[in-house]
Structure 1
Amino acid sequence: MMMNEMMGDRMRSMQGMDMDMMQRCMETLTAAEQACVMCADGDAEAGMAMCASMCMNCADVSSAMMRMMLRPSGFEMQSMMAMMQATMTMMTACAEECEKHADMHEHCKLCAQACRTAAEAMDDMMASMRAAMSMG
């Protein structure tokens, strides 16, 4: 079952939101969180403390962002956009750190890709949100 089907009418309260885009964000955040946790574990084995710490921070931020998206009754456009921007910043920083090691470690390559994909999805979502705000 698709996330937007499960959330049903509860999400309808978020005026002007593209539910397919919201679902894509949540799916990419989940994928990034998982990739970051796996990368941090691999980094710890390889003695790469900075990369491991960045990945764990990114996993935590991803999880928090997704949980905010799952609470439509507490949705407030400006705070959601600020959190999305912070998450995108963390995703970008994590991707940049992992890309330094991507040639040597597959887990870093996969983590960087997942972070970039999630940041793109959130950037698209923010553009949609801005458009909805300008119409409202």
Structure 2
Amino acid sequence: MTYTAQMLDTYPAEINLEHDRLSHVIDALTSCAQACTACADSCLSEPADELPRLARCIRDNLDCADICTATAAVLSRHTGYDARLTKAQVEAAIQAVKTCGDSCAEHSDQHAHCRLCAQSCRETERALKGLLPLLEPSGKGAQQPHRAAPQQGM
């Protein structure tokens, strides 16, 4: 069991999403962010004459890594949950992993790191798309941001 799954299981309040699915998505996002960061670095280590051709791939990798990291963080927080904000963040992540996956796929025949990164992006895209319908406001629970319980001793 990953630490992500363990943390979700120890959350003291109710989470209205299936813990296994949510932990899988968070772990996929974290793994994708790492793959994108490593791919960008690998691209920068390619011969200098290839760098102009890889510039967009590097940019897409770095954008995707940042968006995946932010999305994993948003999905890890449940106090004061706002379904609309979370849904928008997941939609942004879907676009980022699609863009990065497409960009890396263009270079996957020449660079193994791009092939692996594209694969990670595709897997993360599938996981995010599977979660997206579950983020629709259902009329139950908080749809609007709300205040968390006040801190004790303040």
The two structures have a TM-score, normalised by structure 2, of 0.79
Displacement of 1:126 in angstroms is: 1.1
Q: Deviations over 1:43-64 (max 9, x none)?
A: 1123121111110110000000
- Cα separation, 2, equivalents of 1:58 and 1:107: 15
1:29 counterpart residue number:
29
Higher helix share: 1
Query: What are structure 2's unaligned runs of at least 5 residues?
Result: 141-154
Q: Which amino acid aligns with 1:40?
A: A
2:94 counterpart residue number:
88
Aligned residues: percent identity?
27
Q: 1:10 to 1:83 in 2, by over 3 A?
A: same
- Cα separation, 2, equivalents of 1:127 and 1:104: 36
2:125 counterpart residue number:
119
Q: Which amino acid aligns with 1:6?
A: M
- Cα separation, 2, equivalents of 1:43 and 1:9: 40
- Cα separation, 2, equivalents of 1:11 and 1:123: 27
- Aligned ranges 1:74-85 → 2 under 5 Å: 74-85=80-91
Aligned residues between the structures: 133
Runs of 4+ aligned structure 1 residues displaced above 4 Å come to none
SS class of match (2:109)? coil
Q: Deviations over 1:3-51 (max 9, x none)?
A: 2232335274332x11111011011101101110111011112312111
Q: What root-mean-square deviation, in Å, do the aligned CA atoms of Structure 1 and Structure 2 show?
A: 1.7
2:68 counterpart residue number:
62
- Aligned ranges 1:36-47 → 2 under 5 Å: 36-46=36-46, 47=51
- Cα separation, 1, equivalents of 2:127 and 2:13: 20
